[in-house]
Structure 1
Amino acid sequence: MKTRYSFGGDEHIFVEIDEEMSLEAFFKSLSMTRAISQGNIDGLLEICPANASFQIRYNPDIIAPEDILARIKAIEVEAEQAANKLDTRIIEIPVLYGDPWTYETLMRFRERHQDPEGTDLEYGARINGFSSVEEFIEAHHGSPWFVTMVGFVAGLPFMYQMVDRPRQLEVPKYLTPRTDTPKLTVGHGGCFGCIYSVRGAGGYQMFGVTPMPIYDPDQKVSHLKDFMIFFKPGDIVKFRPVERTEYDQIIEAVESGVFEPKIRNVNFSLAEFKADMDGYNRKLMEILDVSNS
């Protein structure tokens, strides 16, 4: 992959690791942004990471553009030599697929969709070659996902499916964005999954909804008291399908302040994952399935 650097006005540098999304590009971007943030660079103001790129903002009165660019390029060399390992966490996210709220919403916006006669799940199943919605849902929750970026709106995670490229689910966005999307909708656009942290406009296909809050500016939710945003780049997500009864139980537990997400710490190795994706994913699932006791 060939990194491309470009200046944005007088205060920004945009760094594109690769034109095509991949875990290799994400890991390199993550390694670089972490090294830059820890590099004690005078004049560095902000770092904004994305899926396979990032942008920095600096004060040109403190550091010259050419000087900070040279620092970043030196960090790139170090990042390429660094081991592609990451101390992170794997998180179980319950999902009510085909829920009534996203269904009501998607039916209101069928004129903006590629397939006005079906649902988003039916459309996703058909264009990905599955014979049923159930098979498509199985493929969606059957493998973990990497959180590669958090943004667009506060707390919204972009997620990249951890399977080889031919098996990755791909679904285009709506032809025209909706003006409404239910809060905590599990969506998909292109090769990326997401969870809408708040209610609002959106263009991703809607597959279901999670009862687990991921953003709370008031920090009243028990698992968000330390920080209002739950996800961070590098998190690994495993979706788990639930029925309406369990969904309602989790909602009640959240409102009562007793719900806690299922989380396990893990050391992820990109090399080991690439050597045996399915076997490595099974090991991740085994770590996640360890009893809470």
Structure 2
Amino acid sequence: MNGNNQPARYSWGGDEHIFVELAESMSLRANFRAMAITTTLREEQLDGVLEICPANASYQVRYDPDVIEPDTLLGHLTDIERTVGDASDVSLSTRVVEIPVLYRDPWTTETLMRFRDRHQDPEVTDIDYAARINGLADADEFIRMHSNSPWFTSMVGFVAGLPFMFQMVPQERQLVVPKYLRPRTDTPKQTVGHGGCFGCIYSVRGAGGYQMFGITPAPIYDPSQSMPDFADFMVFFRPGDIVRFAPIDRDRYDEAVKEVEAGEFRIRSRQVDFALQPFLDDPDGFNTRLLEVLRAD
């Protein structure tokens, strides 16, 4: 969770991109600075700026050099960086979303057992391994730790619609689990995974190296935009979304799948304003108040 407000490093990517590295190490503070800077730039609707892509501790801007001079854009970005500072007084409008999770489901369990030769501990499941190396009593305690605190979506990408998430607890309490020794060639769609300090949800079936803890019935990528949560865009998650993982049982999972098949499933979400400093001052109290928003009808 710690992060220093170090000067940004600017570099060019061909004739149309500028890449800005805000910190060498990834942290919630560094990511929040990236969010604050890119949100400011997006709200300005500057002529010539075509795309803005925030990432974990950096961001990239695609621009039209025939409309805006590269040096002009560079100067503007450095001005925004100075104005934002450490982002301690910045508030972002975002969402709290609830993602139901069937932990220790049969599909990720079957998959992980096919790839034990690529794992640090072939004798146990991913979630049992994660519990042990985090000093927890068992998988049940790990699930409580994983689902009791919210997660901040730091970026969306790598594959279409896949969110990367920081656990919103002090750094010494973050769950940390290494990736597989060698990547798998298969991961079920909508697997809830974890690698390093990052949580994720696999938006599509495919290769992967993150530990697998469960699966969600909630679609997060819909290129057909046939589901109600995708009327505006084929990707559900946005950088800055705050996620609560809600454990469910197999019966509720099956009910949700039927709702998805009927085109009726909705991910629960509420609009909130999020400022970093109040969270840093009192993480547990802030999280309690934040998650209460989802309980309001």
Q: TM-score, normalised by structure 1?
A: 0.95
Q: Which letter maps to 2:225?
A: Q
For the Cα contact (< 8 Å) 1:114–1:175, is it kept in 2? Answer: yes
In the alignment, structure 1 residue 172 sits paired with structure 2 residue 201: no
Identical counterparts, % of pairs: 60
Runs of 5+ in structure 1 lacking a partner? Answer: none
Q: Per the alignment, in what secondary structure is the counterpart of residue 107 of structure 2?
A: helix
Deviations 1:80-113 (A, max 9, x none): 2762212211111100000010011111111111
CA contact (8 A) 2:9 2:20 kept: yes
Task: Tell me whether 1:13 sits opposite 2:23 in the alignment.
Answer: no
Contact 2:227 2:264 in 1 (8 A): no
Letter in 2 for 1:30: M
Q: Give, in angstroms, the shift of residue 37 of structure 1.
A: 2.4
Judged with a 3 Å threshold, the aligned counterparts in structure 2 of structure 1 residues 262 and 42 are, in CA distance, closer, same or farther, namely closer
1:101 & 1:252 partners in 2: Cα distance?
A: 17
The Cα of 1:115 is off from its aligned counterpart by 1.1
Compute the displacement of 1:269 (Å): 2.3
Match of 1:67 among 64, 72, 76: 72
Contact 1:115 1:123 in 2 (8 A): yes
Unaligned runs of 5+ in 2: none
Alignment size in residue pairs = 291
1:138 to 2:111 alignment:
no
- The answer to whether structure 1 residue 110 and structure 2 residue 122 are counterparts is no
Alignment TM-score, normalising by the size of structure 2: 0.93
Residue 86 of structure 2 is aligned to residue 86 of structure 1: no
Residues in 2 aligned to 1:89 and 1:59: alpha-carbon distance in whole angstroms = 31
- 2:227 aligned to which of 221, 227, 247: 221
Match of 1:238 in 2: 244
Q: Residue 87 and residue 64 in structure 1: after superposition, are their counterparts in 2 closer, same or farther (change >3 A)?
A: closer
Aligned positions of 1:89-100 closer than 5 A: 89-100=95-106
Q: d(CA) in 1 for partners of 2:232 and 2:15?
A: 36
| Structure 1 CA distance for aligned equivalents of residues 266 and 51 of structure 2 | 32
RMSD, aligned α-carbons: 1.5
Write the distance in 2 (CA, Å) between the matches of 1:69 and 1:167: 38
Deviation of the 1:40 alpha carbon: 4.1
More deviation in 164-173 or 261-270?
A: 261-270
CA distance in 1, matches of 2:254, 2:169: 31
Q: Work out whether residues 33 and 86 of structure 2, in 8 Å CA contact, stay in contact via their aligned partners in 1.
A: no
Deviates more, 1:261-270 or 1:112-121: 261-270
Checking the alignment, whether the CA contact within 8 Å between 1:27 and 1:84 is kept in structure 2 is: no
Moved more, 232-241 or 222-231: 222-231
Compare 235-244 and 59-68 and name the one that shifted more: 59-68
1:53 maps to 58
1:189-204 map, 5 Å: 189-204=195-210
Alpha-carbon distance, 1:250 to partner: 0.8
**Which whole-Å CA distance do the structure 2 matches of 1:41 and 1:258 have between them?**
39
Q: Runs of 4+ in structure 1 displaced over 4 angstroms? A: none
